[in-house]
Amino acid sequence: MDFLKKSFTYELHALTFLMDKKADVLLKKFFNIRYSTFLLLSVICALGPNVSQVRIANMLGFTPPALTKQIPKILKNLWISTAPHPQDRRVTLISLSEKGELLVKEAQEMLDREFQKDVSSIVTSEELSLVSEVLSRIRTSFLSF
């Protein structure tokens, strides 16, 4: 199994799993939310206002009905607002509220700060910036899938 230790995809998957797990612990501690909720709010934030549930579900790899089950919780916390599509009443549009935007911003800043502290003894800030840039380019290349 030594070949896995040199595998880019394995290392990336393992790192993502560990970071997601730690993010869940940190988000519960500092904001009393789960990582899955933060991820959902982050996707809504990234897609911009008045985004359809179908588009959000596609970005997260969910089915639209699975996303529909999560909407009431975040709506109850006033992190989002919903509105019917002006031309298609079957479509619900979702926007992040100011409260939701603030939560995403503060939580993302905390996660960045905590993860940077974790790696600062083994990676320089320049190396971390380079890794971020490379991962961003890789992610962008995968957007067509």
Domain coordinates of the chain in residue numbers? Answer: 2-141
pLDDT in tens, 87-114: 988 888 999 999 999 999 999 999 999 9
Which H/E stretch holds residue 51? Answer: strand 51-52
Check: CB of residue 79 under 8 Å from CB of residue 96: yes
Q: Which fold has domain 2-141?
A: Arc Repressor Mutant, subunit A (1.10.10)
Per-residue pLDDT at 4 exceeds 70: no
Q: How far apart are CA 57 and CA 68, in angstroms?
A: 9
Concatenating the DSSP letter of every residue in 77-96 gives TTSEEEEE-SS-TTPEEEEE
pLDDT in tens, 25-82: 999 999 999 999 999 999 999 999 999 999 999 999 989 888 888 899 999 999 999 9
pLDDT of amino acid 1? 62
